[in-house]
Structure 1
């Protein structure tokens, strides 16, 4: 199947670069380039693209307003072209809330080196977007958090995700109560984006959410997000769990890697871990989840119907590493029900 792609960007140089990358791919067709939202709207109606690459900063109507209107009128897989800045992170996270599938950094046009790698990244993401499940922005507030009846420090919830994961993690965390067991999270994101993401989650969740710090003690009622471009490793010190941040090679193609976090938890916490693998492209986390299951931990996976991309959960299921496969909206309550059943009242 040929993937029809529409490029929307106010920069003529970016339109030219992305257009050339797409034209050179035999499985893609560049159906048009648009410099603003009005031209883009007409091209969407005319060509019905399979994937749209969209710049956030555009004249007349900004990318977020266009995206919001598009998702209401004609939901289409959208790949945001983002600047790797704090302002860019805020806008990109808002775009993901509105239904964009994923994002990629805006290329640096003055740097010839690395364009080949960038070209491959954007082609891979376009192919992924073409097969993704577009999810519209959720309206309204979530229900009251599920109840956690035990109090203790030895149980841990671990969450791994990639494409589509920012919104999936938000949905899971918003359903957890303030006295939840400690939560450690690895989401594939670049540096800087995880700082902004943690702040956004902290403002809407009952648990306290922060970007993880090296040497930090892991506490109940708190969620810790692995910083972009650093692995998060959990170790046991007496009765405590502590975080180590590692600037080492990529694992399973990623840094941070879900496998690094899951494997460390299998070794130091074993049966005290409840691991959750959510939507994402690739297979990162599957081997680590298998290790947690073998160590006696509980493992949950998001089902295909509610995933944006059913890659990481599918691989974990294929390995036999998953105890339960659930729709996204049921994961938090099942997690707490399992932890309540196991009993988490004994301090180590």
Structure 2
């Protein structure tokens, strides 16, 4: 970049503003343009100078962050990263913020141990850099309604992939990886799928406590069942399993049936859950029975794993640049030769069903 990414931090907590400022200033590619204790101060600061990225708290005095986000996106759209405490209670609100135009969600940095502070720093800086590159999409003001009559249903890296491709069986499993911009993109894909779609496993980079609410929201909107994965969950037709935030998810196989393993472990490709972890396990246990799809997101998580899937005989797809919010992960996968084809977002559901039929 020609100049460091300028960040405006909006949070009513002085300690959070200080911690975020220290994290951002420690990265040579980032700088703190200003801080503000509430949206009114932030609005005045934006009138004086336009930041590259805004980090916005949810709960603040005088005006909450969601209201400010909607006003901002209507009057002066900017890349916004929502920052929240790690609570299940506020997760539904943050999903609405993503629909309203926020680029990403981060949790307030944890400083209780050095490891957590380091991991928080990685996530904050990566989210800001991705937001600075994002193609802004205006939020959909129309409330999304649940599918009528739908019944709601209540790390260790795998060994290297074998050199020969696994024989094709009758069951297809779809593995999807996404990051920045992926929440709304995944909604578009899953909403378009029929109830008899193949089983799907998904890694979406998202903080813990938010993936469960994300899965519940999608479950109400889609014809397929969508749930946050639990260790041992079977992968079934008409079901999508989403990796829990802060846990790795691996595909495993017992006979002709697939299930997932949910595990702790270090960051892989700077993430937990990691797309590479899922894709590598799919290469090992599903081989030619799998379809790997890499979607919008910053960085290179999933690129090498997708190549391993392709080498093991799987069909592989990458989302095209035009429909990505951030064309980072797909670009890296394409550069490695990991993607059989590059397709727009609205084509992905058709490709999922086509692979199943083939």
Q: TM-score, normalised by structure 1?
A: 0.87
Counterpart in the other structure of 2:85? 83
> Which of 125, 137, 142 matches 1:123?
125
CA contact (8 A) 2:79 2:102 kept: yes
Matched, 1:184 2:184: no
Q: Report how far residue 16 of structure 1 moved.
A: 3.5
Measure, in 2, the Cα distance between the counterparts of 1:202 and 1:317.
31
1:311 equivalent in structure 2: 328
Contact kept? 1:83, 1:89, Cα under 8 Å: no
Choose which of 239, 250, 256 in structure 1 pairs with 2:256: 239
Correspondence for 2:319: 302
Relative to structure 1, the CA distance from residue 27 to residue 211 in structure 2 (aligned partners, 3 Å threshold; closer, same or farther) is: closer
Distance of 1:133 and 1:271 partners within structure 2: 34
Residues 175 and 61 of structure 1, relative CA distance in 2, 3 Å threshold = same
Say if 2:109 and 2:121, in contact at 8 Å, map to a contact too.
no
Alignment of 1:132-143 (within 5 A): 132-140=134-142
In the TM superposition, what is the alpha-carbon distance from 1:322 to its structure 2 partner? Answer: 0.6
Deviation at 1:68, TM superposition (A): 1.2
In structure 1, the partner of 2:226 is 209
**Are positions 1:290 and 2:292 aligned together?**
no
SS at match of 1:254: coil
Q: Residue 86 of structure 1: CA displacement?
A: 0.5
Number of aligned positions between the proteins = 332
Aligned: 1:280 with 2:297: yes
Preserved CA contact (<8 Å) 1:290 1:319: yes
For 1:265 and 1:246, the matched residues in 2 are separated by 15
Q: 1:108 to 1:220 in 2, by over 3 A?
A: closer
Among 97, 116, 124, the residue aligned to 1:95: 97
Given that residues 316 and 322 in structure 1 are in contact (C-alpha distance below 8 angstroms), is that contact kept between their aligned partners in structure 2? yes
Which stretch of the first structure deviates more once superposed, 247-256 or 261-270? 247-256
1:245 Cα offset (Å):
2.0
Distance 1:189 1:127, change over 3 A: closer
Q: Secondary structure at the match of 1:195?
A: helix
Describe the shift of the 1:65–1:265 C-alpha distance in structure 2 as closer, same or farther (beyond 3 A). Answer: same
Please point out which of 313, 337, 340 is paired with 1:323: 340
Q: 1:83 to 1:337 in 2, by over 3 A?
A: same
RMSD of the TM alignment (CA)? 2.4
Q: String of CA shifts for 1:177-229, please: whole Å, max 9, x gaps.
A: 11111111111223222211111111111100111122222110111111223
Instruction: Specify the SS of the correspondent of 1:87.
Output: coil
